[in-house]
């Protein structure tokens, strides 16, 4: 039996080796036929001897596992976004800020292409891939490990001498040639083409069937190793070694000794980027020294030791055909420009947001104008100008509508706001469906099986008019509808039943109370514990909650003064949804006596989560920002200068970890 296992392991190692040579080094050592025959032999052996299963086997490249939902996973190290720069002056300002902290005139910088793809974080233990998580909101993302295993440029098993435990970050992309081939096939099949490589790559990672993900031509460039272990002193050394371990590292990076060399690299790729077989939207510049990176640390949003240089946004001209108007769930009316289709940044653009009436007037827009458009932040198309020389008698000045485009009620606009609103809250169709679509969304009730199109269909069929109606649906209601088969209906009812486990703070967010976002909903849920308690509160009660102002408080009170809202909540409560926050562990003692703490900086022996638990278990409270209600700033290394100024101004005590431990009367 040991000989059989040795044979299987040898075959796996051979396939890992040939896979690396083919997809990473682009130097195949055997023919495709020979590779396929070896893979077929391994598949047959693994089927015959399932006791030798290996969750990093090369056979997993073909997929086959089904993932009904993707679990949210908290990142061990937050995946920060990057601060942006657009000129050499911006880079010089960034360099000056670094010098004030480091005081080293001879800094080296590592420059890399900024791939326009989907960020991924990979975890390796003992040389094997054990987890792959999307960036998400930077704090937590989705576990997409099974789909990631199908990507040939991501090693399942490392080679050489690698750290025992580490994480590595990269970007999932689809190359331009592969994207064109995908769309050629779709058009031949009579299907709509995919919009752009980035969105297609993102959608591919969330396919439920990993064998379908395996069919997508996904590739991955890795660029950042994250670890508590201090194995290498520079970013440059990490990249060189990561290549030896089997990772696909783009050879386009460059080590620069000063900002002039950085700008030469930036200018070189500004001229050459259109020759690349993949999309980039700029250059990433990093301090090369790892110890300096740790010393510089992070702001609340960005690493201080890295910055993105963004290339000038591509602009094109096209004709403004007309303006249509969309009504959101809050009644806000947004004008949308309908354009002659034009290729911009790899995507055919047909529409662009005009935001509000003020924006239309500022641009002095006319129908049939030739307008200049760009992608704001490389994502959202917007009109930035008009070619006045091409305006003629066929161009009519745009006048903002006075009536709702859906229910035809007169629109309202407050003097203090730029937005027009339809006040027909209860009977305007897009407001009704918009609220239900918000309710089922991923960050709210996350009801699998239901999507925006299905909500529209259910509303148009007269089956739902509010969120509670979803839970009263019957199979006989759904089966006669278009695109509704037994399996689809089963998934809807499974999703509805699972949603009853969603905690109170997300249910509160799902209700769509104006100005109550995720963070606000969580603070309110913690403060008042239950919906029954919250319903009785007045504005003066709500405003006492940290970071809850008068506008939010008034909106919450108004929501509960509406009888229909209260009736819907009662229905949802009777249907089994969570309207109470589950109590956390009771404090071990009252040593901190309700004192409020803000935590800032980096701590050598404690994570932030550990410190938060210590505070709460000893009767203290955690605040997200410094205010007059803060009793202490618990500070580690690299506290943000703005926080230091604020605590000094408010005369709030700044304590270090030793002082904090003494407050708890325990030994570190």
Please give the positions annotated as active site: 114
End-to-end CA distance of the chain: 51
Asked if 126 and 161 count as a contact pair (C-beta separation under 8 A), the reply is no
Half-sphere exposure of 600 (CA within 13 A, CB side): 24
Q: Which of 239, 207, 206, 48 is nearest to 133 (CA)?
A: 206
- All residues at 6 or more sequence positions from 268 whose CB lies less than 8 Å from its CB, including other chains: none
Identify whether the C-beta of residue 146 lies closer than 8 Å to the C-beta of residue 65: yes
CA angle 435, 439, 445 (to 5 degrees): 175
In a 13 Å sphere around the CA of 3, the CA atoms on its Cβ side amount to 0
Cβ–Cβ < 8 Å for 356, 339: no
| 195 within 8 A of 162, measured Cβ to Cβ | no
Q: How many CB atoms lie within 10 A of CB 18?
A: 18
247 sits in the region (left: phi over 0; alpha: psi -120 to 50; else beta) called beta
Rounded distance between C-alpha atoms, residue 218 and residue 577, angstroms: 40
Q: What are phi and psi of 287, to 5 degrees?
A: -65, 130
Order of all β-strands in the sheet with 621-622: 621-622, 596-600, 632-635, 654-655
Q: Which residue reads 């308690």 in tokens? A: 533
Instruction: Dig out the tokens for 74 from the structure.
Output: 């908290």
Task: State how far the alpha carbon of 262 is from the alpha carbons of 10, 76, 257, 283, in Å.
Answer: 45, 31, 8, 10
Which residue has tokens 């109550």? 516
The first and second tokens of residue 536, run together, are 């009785």
């Amino acid at each position: 039996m040991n000989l059989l296992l040795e044979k299987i392991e040898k075959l796996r190692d051979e396939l890992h080796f040939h896979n690396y040579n083919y997809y990473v080094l682009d130097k195949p050592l055997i023919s495709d036929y020979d590779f396929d025959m070896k893979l077929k032999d391994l598949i047959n052996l693994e089927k015959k001897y399932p006791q030798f299963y290996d969750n990093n086997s090369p056979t997993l490249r073909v997929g086959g596992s089904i993932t009904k939902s993707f679990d949210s996973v908290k990142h061990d190290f937050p995946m920060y976004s990057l601060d942006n720069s657009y000129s050499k002056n911006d880079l010089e300002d960034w360099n000056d800020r670094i010098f004030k902290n480091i005081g080293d005139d001879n800094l080296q910088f590592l420059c890399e292409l900024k791939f326009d793809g989907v960020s991924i974080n990979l975890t390796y233990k003992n040389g094997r891939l054990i987890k792959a998580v999307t960036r998400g909101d930077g704090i937590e993302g989705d576990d997409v490990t099974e789909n990631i295993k199908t990507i040939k440029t991501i090693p399942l098993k490392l080679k050489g001498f690698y750290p025992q435990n580490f994480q590595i970050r990269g970007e999932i992309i689809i190359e331009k040639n592969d994207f064109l081939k995908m769309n050629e096939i779709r058009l031949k099949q009579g299907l709509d083409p995919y919009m752009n490589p980035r969105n297609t790559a993102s959608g591919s990672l969330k396919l439920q069937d990993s064998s379908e993900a395996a069919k997508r031509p996904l590739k991955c460039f890795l660029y950042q190793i994250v670890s508590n272990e201090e194995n290498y002193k520079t970013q440059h050394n990490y990249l060189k070694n990561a290549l030896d371990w089997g990772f696909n590292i783009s050879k386009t990076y460059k080590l620069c000794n000063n900002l002039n060399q950085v700008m030469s690299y930036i200018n070189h790729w500004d001229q050459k980027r259109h020759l690349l077989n993949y999309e980039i939207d700029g250059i990433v510049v990093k301090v090369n020294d790892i110890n300096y990176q740790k010393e510089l640390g992070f702001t609340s949003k960005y690493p201080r030791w890295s910055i993105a240089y963004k290339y000038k946004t591509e602009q094109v001209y096209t004709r403004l055909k007309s303006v249509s108007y969309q009504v959101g769930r809050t009644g806000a009316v947004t004008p949308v420009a309908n354009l002659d289709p034009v290729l911009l940044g790899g995507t055919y653009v047909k529409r662009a947001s005009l935001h509000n009436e003020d924006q239309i007037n500022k641009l002095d827009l006319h129908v049939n104008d030739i307008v200049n458009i760009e992608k704001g932040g490389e994502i959202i198309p917007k009109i930035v100008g008009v070619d006045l020389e091409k305006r003629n008698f066929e161009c009519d000045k745009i006048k903002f509508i006075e009536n709702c485009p859906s229910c035809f009620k007169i629109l309202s606009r407050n003097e203090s706001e730029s937005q027009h609103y339809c006040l027909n809250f209860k009977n305007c169709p897009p407001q009704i469906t918009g609220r239900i679509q918000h309710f089922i969304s991923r960050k709210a009730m996350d009801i699998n099986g239901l999507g925006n199109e299905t909500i529209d269909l259910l509303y148009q069929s007269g089956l739902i008019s509010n969120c509670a109606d979803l839970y009263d649906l019957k199979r006989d209601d759904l089966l006669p509808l278009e695109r509704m088969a037994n399996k689809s209906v089963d998934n809807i009812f499974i999703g509805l039943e699972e949603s009853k486990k969603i905690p109170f703070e997300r249910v509160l967010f799902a209700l769509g109370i104006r100005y109550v976002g995720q963070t606000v909903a969580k603070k309110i849920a913690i403060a008042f514990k239950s919906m029954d308690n919250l319903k009785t509160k007045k504005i003066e009660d709500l405003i006492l909650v940290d970071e809850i102002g008068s506008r939010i408080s008034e909106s919450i009170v108004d929501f509960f003064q509406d009888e229909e809202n209260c009736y819907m909540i009662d229905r949802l409560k009777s249907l089994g949804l969570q309207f109470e926050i589950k109590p956390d562990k009771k404090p071990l003692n009252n040593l901190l006596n309700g004192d409020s703490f803000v935590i800032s900086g980096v701590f050598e022996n404690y994570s932030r989560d550990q410190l938060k638990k210590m505070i709460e278990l000893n009767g203290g409270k955690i605040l997200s920002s410094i205010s007059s209600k803060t009793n202490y700033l618990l500070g580690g290394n690299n506290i943000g200068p703005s926080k230091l100024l604020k605590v000094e101004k408010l005369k709030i005590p700044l304590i270090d970890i030793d002082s904090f431990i003494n407050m708890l009367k325990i030994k570190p």
